[in-house]
Each structure stands twice: as C-alpha cells, then as structure tokens.
Structure 1
C-alpha cells in the first residue's frame, strides 16, 4: 500500500524574503539576514551561496535543531554559529527577520564580495560574537 502524501512541516523560522532587483536565484550570490531587536536595532549577517536553497534550508534546519534541543552534528553537538542562535531567539520571540538576496556574483568573486559586503553593511553577526541575553539560553 502506498503512503499518502505528507503535509509540509510548519517551520518556526519564517523570514520575509526579499530579492534585489535584477538578482536571480539560479546563479551564485550573496545574501543577508537582518534581525530586528527589541530596542529597534537591526543586526546583520552576510553570507554567500552557490546553490539557491542553501540560504534558507540549512539555516531553517539549524534553527529547528536549536529549538528542539538537538545537536548541531554528532561530532560537534554545540557547533551552532552565533547567527543560528540569534535567528532561533528572534523566531521564538516573533521578531522581524528578513532574508535579503543582495546580488549575484561569479563563483571566483564570491569570497571577495562577501567580505566587502560584511564591511559595507556593518554585518555584526558574522564571526563568533558575544551572544545577546536573548540568545544565551540556546548555548547549552
């Protein structure tokens, strides 16, 4: 007997997705997560992708692991990056999260463009960073 089609899972990370004019998801590019904090501050994380699903699927999976108290990986159970914890805290608290696809870049230019945009856009969530009080609960 064939199993019926399963319903899509309801994910807790539900960002607003914006794509800059002229950008296509079919080519490698640069994306930005922008998280709004209770004091109105917006903190950013800039990353690169070669496959269009990476920026959403992998972050969504990591946020779900954090919220379900599951390990990052067997070999590195606490290996979540700072941005994963911040996204989990924001999703839990219902704060604004925007995933912006900023630009396309040639594969050989991705690293250079990513680093330039981290500086230009003030991406304070890149790197390890000290956890905010909001995301500290996801460190254990």
Structure 2
C-alpha cells in the first residue's frame, strides 16, 4: 500500500502535477478525471483506492516516465502480483463490511456473515496454495 500512496501523493500533492495528470487522463479519455488526494486512507476505503490505482496503472506509469520519475516498481511483476492480490482481498473485506452494516441487521445475520467469510477464507487459502486464482479476478488477469 505504501508505494501506491507514495505515487498518488507524488501526483496529487503538487497543483501543477495534478493538473498535468488530469490533462493526460482527459487526453487519453480515462475513466477517472482525477485522483483523490490521499493523506491518510482508512482501511475501508483502501479497496477503492487500490482499484482506481490498478485501473490507471498504465497512465500513472506513463505520467511518471514523462516526469522522469522512477517507475521501475510499476514494472516489477512480483510487486504487481502482490498489488493485485491485495486489491482483490481488500475488495472481499469491503464486501464483508457492507454485509455487516444496516439498520435491520440482527446478531444472527452478523454471525452468519462472519462464519460464511471464515469458510470463504479457508477456500481462498487453499486456492492460493494451489496457485489457482479463479476467485481473485485481478490476480487471474495478472
């Protein structure tokens, strides 16, 4: 997560760089016209930040290279795989978090959701050991 935050802050913390990156995204017809300025991300929003970073990875790399900044980490296959795994796993944790919220939630619903996630966690672990990533969409693509 630290390199992602560092790269985002490098782009977003300086007004000129942020404006230039926004222009690059507009020129390349990016889905996101801008990054969110990140100082301290709560863990619940990290999944969205990671997903956005993954979607913009090639554009971020292109921008960093145009600024003559070190983008070697963004080409490292091992780091990229770890990042995709973290992104997929955080997405699953955020889904569990959403399941546990709501006015009509009873303790039975909460216990059921937590137990279901525990069972899924065992399946996740077994698949990772076998290097099967059908549950992890970004890992499978990576």
Q: TM-score, normalising length from structure 2?
A: 0.28
Q: Name whichever structure is richer in helix by fraction.
A: 2
Bigger radius of gyration? 2
Higher RCO (CA-CA < 8 Å; seq separation 6+): 1
